[in-house]
Amino acid sequence: MDWSKIDTVLLDMDGTLLDKHFDDYFWEQYVPEHYSLEHDLTVEEARKELLRRYRQVEDTLEWTDLDYWSVQLGLDLPDLKARLAHLIDVHPFVVDFLRFCRGRGKHIHLVTNAHWKTLGIKLAKTEIGSLFDRIVCAEEVGLAKEEVLFWQRLEEMLKFDRTRTLLADDTEKVLFAADRHGIAQLIFVARPSSRKPLTFSRRYPSIEYFIELIPESERRNIREK
């Protein structure tokens, strides 16, 4: 990593900075459990039906829209999410990395497909919110991050120089869209969930933890976690 070539750091939230175990558990276990009670199904039947419905809106803003799913499923999802908030966790070395970027004077933006209600629940539970210059939800841009046009609109909004910008994300499709727009440095996060095995990208440099992006000489003060 040549940090002298980077002015702006764009970071995804779920899976990248925060442990995706929360989201996986919420959508694949907790929501099916509640849905099964309402519809007299087994949890397994409910999970099957819900996974099929999630897939229909994959890569769109509907997928992350809590209000959309509350109406679709007849459940109060913001309330269910808040009840599970004890599972929200920041990945190791994320705060160290954000402080490192601040220390180097980089512009740091959180850029997420997450719904604003989800964002609120997560920022209330963690202490990372104050470390960003700006937080952008995809609904503000009007497109999901998987769209190339998203990155053009974001660039107009944040006024960054794409040739001096780094993006880290745990979704390869998102990196691919940003790549097509010309974002210079793309980093794939290979361990989005603490409970799942590593999966490396074949196309982009992969990291397991953000400490890998901090130069060796500056890692001294960072405790092993």
| Position of minimal CB gap to Mg ion | 15
- 36, 73 in Cβ contact below 8 A? no
Q: Which stretch binds Mg ion (CB under 5 A): 15-23, 38-46, 131-139, 212-220?
A: 15-23
d(CA 139, CA 145): 10
Min dist CB 16 to Mg ion, Å, is 5
- 147, 113 in Cβ contact below 8 A? no
Min dist CB 15 to Mg ion, Å, is 4
Min dist CB 176 to Mg ion, Å, is 14
Residue with Cβ nearer Mg ion (91 or 106): 91
Residue with Cβ nearer Mg ion (63 or 160): 63
Residue 14 makes contact with Mg ion by CB under 5 A? yes
Residue with Cβ nearer Mg ion (170 or 172): 170
Min dist CB 174 to Mg ion, Å, is 7
Partnered with residue 90 across adjacent β-strands are 18
Min dist CB 114 to Mg ion, Å, is 8
Using CB under 5 A, count the residues that bind Mg ion: 4
d(CA 18, CA 123): 10
Q: Which stretch binds Mg ion (CB under 5 A): 10-18, 45-53, 60-68, 148-156?
A: 10-18
Min dist CB 33 to Mg ion, Å, is 24
Residue with Cβ nearer Mg ion (168 or 214): 168
- 192, 12 in Cβ contact below 8 A? no
Residue with Cβ nearer Mg ion (49 or 89): 89
Q: What is the number of helices (H) and of strands (E) in the chain?
A: 11, 6
Q: Segment 136-195, which members bind Mg ion (CB under 5 A)?
A: 170
Backbone angles phi, psi at 58, to 5 degrees: -50, 145
Ranges of H-type helices in the chain: 21-25, 31-39, 43-56, 61-64, 66-73, 77-83, 94-103, 116-125, 138-141, 148-158, 172-181
Instruction: Tell me how far CA of residue 76 lies from CA of 18, 27, 46, 66, 67, in angstroms.
Output: 23, 13, 16, 9, 8
Residue with Cβ nearer Mg ion (95 or 167): 167
Query: Given the rule CB under 5 A, which residues bind Mg ion?
Result: 12, 14-15, 170
